[in-house]
A and B are shown apart, each in its own frame.
Chain A
Amino acid sequence: MLSDFFLDSSVLSGSVLNRFLLSDYEIAALLLSLKVSSIAVIASLPLGILCAWLLARVEFPGKAIFDSILHLPLVLPPVVVGYLLLISMGRKGFIGQWLFDWFGISFSFSWRGAALASAIVSFPLMVRAIRQSFETVDIRLEQAARTLGSSRWRVFLTITLPLTSPGIVSGMIIAFARSLGEFGSTITFVSNIPGETRTIPLAMYSFIETPGAEYEAMRLCIISIIIALASLLASQWLTQKALQRTASAC
């Protein structure tokens, strides 16, 4: 559905973006980047909230190991993540083959694989932001809500989640920005296919490899900087708002 939106809108917004002096090639890479990153963030959000909540609120055996594994994509070389994806989620991979046989879903050499790689690499960043936000929510407010007749689930939906929402939004933005920049694991897992997996960083890489295309590489470089900067500013602004909110909690 969301992917349809991006596919349909590429025709429409192509003419709009042309006016901003972007070439068709740049527009294709930009829209693909936005599509891959948005889907990576939205699809991983529910799991991200669950993991963040587990880490912030639940004590369980093996929590330290769970926490470390979750952070692994942050410290592993992206090429390692890409390679692991290739052997597990590829058409011949032990999970990928099973998914293809049963559901007809394939990740290899498609934008879906790029989204999966982005989601995994940006996941720790998202979880960290949401977890911090969960930790600032006053448990005493949740207790008060329980005494007012709310079940655990209703307390989560009406008290915990709304008070965490600024952290969730800022986690989503950071993950989105990280996804936009994803390169190593993407090119390892799904290769560099124009229109399918060639996002902005991959397009830039192609230009750098092509002699005499420094100008095109620089244009993409500037586009990247603008998007990243906007994301960081938005994230900072939202974190500020979250702090103000928790300061007022009593």
Chain B
Amino acid sequence: MLSINIEKRLGQLQLKVDTQLPLQGITAVFGRSGAGKTSLVNLLGGLSTPDKGEIRLGDKLLYQQGKVNLPPEKRNIGYVFQEARLFPHYSVKGNLNYGVRQDNPVLFNKVVQLLGIEKLLSRYPITLSGGEKQRVAIGRALLTSPDMLLMDEPLASLDLPRKRELLPYLQTLSQELALPIMYVSHSLDEILQLADYMLVLHQGNVIAQGALSEVWNSEQMRPWVPMQELSSLLSAKVADRHPDYPMTRLVMDDGNHLWVSGHLAATEKKLKVRIQANHVSVCTEIPRGSSIRNLLKGEIKEVYTSDNGEQVQLKIALGRDELWANITPWACHELQLTQGKAIYAQIKGVTMTQMDIAESH
């Protein structure tokens, strides 16, 4: 467990975090810019000091007001920054070995292979691309054998192709090395692909935390996500492929089927499927002659009207899963959609692509 109970004044912002986080898998710290995300990881890494409180990593006390304040070098916490921060006067190999205390060729080879940087070892940082630099920076942090890894928007300074290049490395990382990672991001795309656990910061306070899909679908998230980007996470397993068309059928926990675009690799692992609320429509009876492939039977759990009155958000219960739908108030009145009403949710198959699907760990 990572126990954090701290307060820190940062200009206008009062950062106040009192929480416990699991020391396994990837924990995403989500929030708008200025919510205090970077400040929080800086406090954990020892790069800044809280005004009061306590930080404990496992049974190691990192900070206690007035008594203990371990300097960064004594915390054994790896830190990957937004910019790679490689040392220009060291080669890639020199950078990787900078924090190594005890030579461990097995770990070195494993990390180098995992990150695909074998061919870069003798080069200098100035000759590397942004994605390569960031991979070296990750390797450098890993080779210190940290108890935990902090990553502060490691993809934010990269362009989209570089992001796509780096994302798979991050995915394998958390699985291959049993290392807890705290991943700061304001990108829900990245969080969907990487995280198992999620913590939402708003104006210095934790407003939600828990397993990814729980937080994702929770009401606390709704106000902090733009209406157009509201989405739900469903969990499902790969069942089979369509015999004639490039589509894959997923089975959800409640038995509902979900057809998604493309051929997915068969896997025993559960998948997380993101469905945009804007892509979900609702009907009260089974429609005929529709192009829509996905018809999920469910029940309306909650009805919210947006602040400006232009949209209605429905929370639909599908077994244990929940699905958000964005519809117009007009449709809501006409169909008399109220809490408890049984409906069919329709989702276009083409709207769900590879970017919306990730494996659970």
Contacts and interface: CB of A to CB of B under 8 A. Distances in A.
Contacts of B89: 162-163, 245
Interface in A134-173: 138, 140-141, 143-152, 158-159, 162-163
Contacts of B46: 146-147
Nearest to B143: A148
B180 interface: no
Given A140-B83, A248-B125, A250-B133, A147 B88 contact: no
A162 B83 CA distance: 21
A12 interface: no
Given A245-B89, A250-B133, A149 B84 contact: no
Nearest to B124: A248
A149 B73 contact: yes
Nearest to B128: A250
Interface string B163-193: 0000000000000000000000000000000
Interface of B is mostly: loop
Interface in A18-42: none
Contact of B88 (A151, A152, A163): A163
Interface stretch (B74-82, B281-289, B318-326): B74-82
Interface size on A, as a range, is 20 to 34
Most interface-central of B71, B73, B125 (chain A CB within 10 A): B73
B144 A250 contact: no
A117 B321 CA distance: 83
Given A250-B125, A250-B133, A151 B73 contact: yes
Interface string B58-94: 0000000000000111001111010111111100000
B1 interface: no
A249 interface: yes
Nearest to B79: A147
A147 B86 contact: no
Nearest to B75: A147
B313 to A, nearest CB: 42
Contacts of A149: 73, 76, 99, 101, 144
Interface string B80-120: 01011111110000000011010000000000000000000
B47 A143 contact: yes
Most interface-central of A140, A148, A248, A250 (chain B CB within 10 A): A148
B89 to A, nearest CB: 5
Contact of B73 (A146, A158, A248, A250): A146
Contact of A141 (B85, B99, B144): B85
Given A248-B126, A250-B133, A144 B73 contact: no
B141 interface: yes
12 contacts: A140-B85, A141-B85, A141-B87, A144-B79, A145-B87, A147-B73, A148-B144, A149-B101, A150-B73, A162-B89, A163-B88, A250-B86
Given A248-B126, A250-B125, 14 more contacts: A143-B85, A144-B87, A146-B46, A147-B72, A147-B73, A148-B73, A148-B141, A148-B144, A149-B99, A150-B73, A162-B89, A248-B88, A249-B88, A250-B86
Interface of A: 138, 140-141, 143-152, 158-159, 162-163, 245, 248-250
Interface of B: 45-47, 71-73, 76-79, 81, 83-89, 98-99, 101, 124-126, 133, 140-141, 144
Top 7 A-B residue pairs of the complex, sorted by shortest distance between their CB atoms: A148-B99, A248-B126, A147-B79, A144-B85, A146-B72, A249-B88, A248-B88
